[in-house]
Amino acid sequence: MNAEFKGFPKEIIDFFWELRMNNNTEWFRENKDRYDTLVKTPMKLFSDEMAERLNNMKLGESFVPAISRANRDIRFAKDKSPYKDRKWVVFNYREGRWQGKICFYFEVAPEGWCCGVGSYESDSAFLTRYRNKLAADNTAVERLEKKLAGQSFFKADTRLYKKNFIPEGTPKNIEKWFQFRNVAFASDYRMDEELFTKDILDVVEEKFKFLKPYFLYLKDI
């Protein structure tokens, strides 16, 4: 009988805080069983269920969860902490790695949970195509901006280029879209009781439904 996702254990938050304060190999090895029980297993169950729900949203793609590993890649990092003090899943699609694609994601961290859609590794070629698409049809972007402005859960990534990429005549309310360094729309971290019940699946599904037009607009750039 397959296990069923029933929510993340409440102890997951304490575990992540402890890991942040004791980010070393000895502590992690001593707490590996806790990691498997509190973090790894529930995230796998959540991810499989959410991928199935995404596949029923008529997004034109077949989604597969790509779950973060415990270990950090510290080869070129100033921070040599060996482990991630959070767990996330990106819902990949098509061939190849998810990096550089527009993807839905969900994360649990010491501060709570968050979700969103976008790409945080967009290269210059992608951003050029992105800005060309914006310039070709201002009305589509204005609809997305109006939808975003009408709520408070999701926000656009606020990191903007200093160089001006705004075409002359661009409506004021979408000028910032041409300046995005990363094309992403994300929530702040939240500490809701739903995280600890299976209701988090319904909550995140509804949030992903809100983001559906952003995904459809951006995914084929």
Secondary structure E strands in 70-211: 87-93, 103-109, 112-119, 154-156, 183-187
Q: For the packed helices 199-218 and 138-149, what is the interaxial angle rounded to 10 degrees?
A: 160
What's the confidence (pLDDT) of residue 64?
97
Contact 28, 39 (CB under 8 A): no
Q: Note down pLDDT in tens along the chain; length 221 residues.
A: 578 999 999 999 999 999 999 999 999 999 999 999 999 999 999 999 999 999 999 999 999 999 999 988 777 667 788 999 999 999 999 888 888 899 999 999 999 999 999 998 888 999 999 999 999 999 999 999 999 999 999 999 878 999 999 999 999 999 999 999 999 999 999 999 999 999 999 999 999 999 999 999 999 98
Closest listed residue to residue 49, CA positions, set 97, 106, 87, 134: 106
What's the confidence (pLDDT) of residue 158?
77
Is this prediction's pTM over 0.85?
yes
Q: What DSSP designation does 71 have?
A: B
Beta-carbon contacts of 54 under 8 Å, excluding residues fewer than 6 positions away, are 63, 91, 104, 208
Beta-carbon contacts of 219 under 8 Å, excluding residues fewer than 6 positions away, are 61, 101, 102
